[in-house]
């Protein structure tokens, strides 16, 4: 069993470790992405609803900090999606990960620009469709992850996707140490994605309050909002999250529910968490793995420590790709 043969994409990108950073809006900055890529993983800039100029700024920050390949995560629901893809192509980014939709309308131009495309998929059907469209790999993300989530767990989703497609599958959701990475390989994945674990990296630029909340989190400290709206997101429990869930239930029990009220409640809460550290009014998007994270250290140490543990558990030589 050799990692080198598991995922040719990672080898092509010159990675040391089969570990990628999850796309985290506001938190996934150019600095963090560069640190992860420089250390041998694959960093991703999270763009959310950013304008193209914001994306370009973070891409160039990353380029100033590393000459290693990194990626950009694009949320397809963004109303600025056209300008974002224009910037990605102009800046010659190595990899694009997509979420919250179907990237098909943009695939031909990304392929023509030599950009690898790795969509996040919450189901076998979408994974199969993406394979037919010619994507390089898929990220099978379970509901244990932070932020916007699907309905299936990582344990159930990853092996079914791995059985259904012939392209590399990257497992995501609830992975925060070497045990999780090793488990991902046992489920049939060819790599692992981690988001929450990197939020406490030294290079992470989230507010100190955000890091503190993760380090103090317990196993039961997350809650899922948007269950009734169909826009599910996992966040740490606080006043805002609990109030949102309560108001969501109350509002949707009305004869003529005003969904706009809920949208207004949610607006700007992620940024308030990441940049302002608003303990009670922010949306601290983290995964259920938060309870495992007890330290803050450089991204390079996170990657090397996790891969050493995973290699030992899988009984393979602890070498880089």
Give me the residues of the chain with pLDDT under 70, please: 1-6, 251-252, 254-263, 265, 318-321
Residue 309 lies in a domain: yes
Q: Is residue 17 part of a domain?
A: yes
Confidence at residue 258, expressed as pLDDT on a 0 to 100 scale: 65
Inside any domain, residue 34: yes
Q: Is residue 35 part of a domain?
A: yes
Residue 182's pLDDT is 95
CA distance 305 to 299: 10
User: Is the pTM for the entire model greater than 0.85?
Assistant: yes
Angle, helices 259-266 vs 239-252, to 10°: value is: 170
Q: Tens digits of per-residue pLDDT, 39-53?
A: 999 999 999 889 999
C-alpha–C-alpha distance, residues 278 and 112, integer Å:
43
* pLDDT (0 to 100) of residue 76: 87
Token pair of 71 as six digits: 């990626």
Task: Find the domain containing 267 and state its range.
Answer: 218-285
| CATH code at position 80 | 3.20.20.70
Q: Residue 124: inside a domain, yes or no?
A: yes
Query: Which residue from 204, 172, 170, 206 is spatially nearest to 188, judged by alpha carbons?
Result: 170
Residues 256 and 176 in one domain: no
Q: How many domains does the chain have?
A: 2
pLDDT the model gives residue 316: 84
Residue 320 placed within a domain: no
Taking the chain, what is the end-to-end CA distance rounded to the nearest angstrom?
A: 12
Residues 109 and 240 grouped into a single domain: no
Same domain, 56 and 117: yes
Q: Assess whether 114 and 176 both reside in one domain.
A: yes
**Same domain for 124 and 51:** yes
- Residue 183 in any domain: the answer is yes
Query: What pLDDT does 270 receive?
Result: 86
Does an H or E element contain 54, and which?
helix 52-65
Say yes or no: 19 and 149 in one domain: yes
- Cα three-residue angle 38-300-273, rounded to 5 degrees: 95
Whether the Cβ atoms of residue 120 and residue 149 lie closer than 8 Å to each other: no
CA distance 20 to 303: 10
């Amino acid at each position: 069993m050799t990692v080198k043969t598991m995922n040719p994409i990672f080898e092509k990108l010159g990675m040391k470790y089969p570990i990628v950073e999850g796309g985290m809006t506001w938190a996934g900055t150019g600095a963090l992405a560069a640190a992860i890529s420089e250390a041998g993983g694959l960093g991703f800039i999270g763009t959310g609803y950013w304008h193209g100029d914001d994306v370009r700024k973070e891409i160039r920050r990353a380029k100033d900090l590393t000459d290693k390949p990194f990626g950009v995560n694009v949320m397809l629901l963004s109303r600025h999606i056209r300008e974002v893809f224009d910037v990605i192509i102009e800046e010659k980014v190595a990899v694009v990960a997509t979420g919250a939709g179907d990237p098909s309308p943009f695939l031909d131009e990304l392929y023509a620009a030599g950009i690898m495309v790795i969509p996040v998929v919450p189901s076998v059907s979408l994974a199969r469709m993406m394979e037919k469209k010619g994507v390089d790999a898929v990220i099978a993300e379970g509901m244990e992850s932070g932020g916007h989530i699907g309905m299936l767990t990582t344990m159930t989703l990853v092996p079914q996707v791995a059985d259904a497609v012939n392209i590399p599958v990257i497992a995501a959701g609830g992975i925060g140490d070497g045990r999780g990475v090793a488990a991902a390989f046992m489920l049939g994945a060819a790599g692992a994605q981690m988001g929450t674990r990197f939020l406490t990296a030294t290079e992470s630029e989230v507010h100190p309050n955000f890091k503190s909340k993760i380090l103090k989190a317990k196993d039961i400290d997350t809650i899922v909002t948007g269950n009734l709206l169909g826009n599910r997101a996992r966040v740490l429990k606080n006043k805002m999250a609990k109030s949102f869930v309560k108001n969501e239930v109350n509002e949707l029990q009305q004869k003529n529910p005003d969904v706009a009220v809920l949208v207004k409640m949610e607006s700007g809460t992620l940024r308030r968490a990441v940049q302002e550290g608003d303990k009670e009014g922010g949306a601290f998007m983290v995964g259920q793995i938060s309870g495992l994270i007890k330290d803050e250290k450089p991204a390079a140490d996170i990657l090397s420590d996790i891969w050493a543990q995973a290699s030992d558990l899988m009984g393979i030589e602890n070498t880089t790709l």
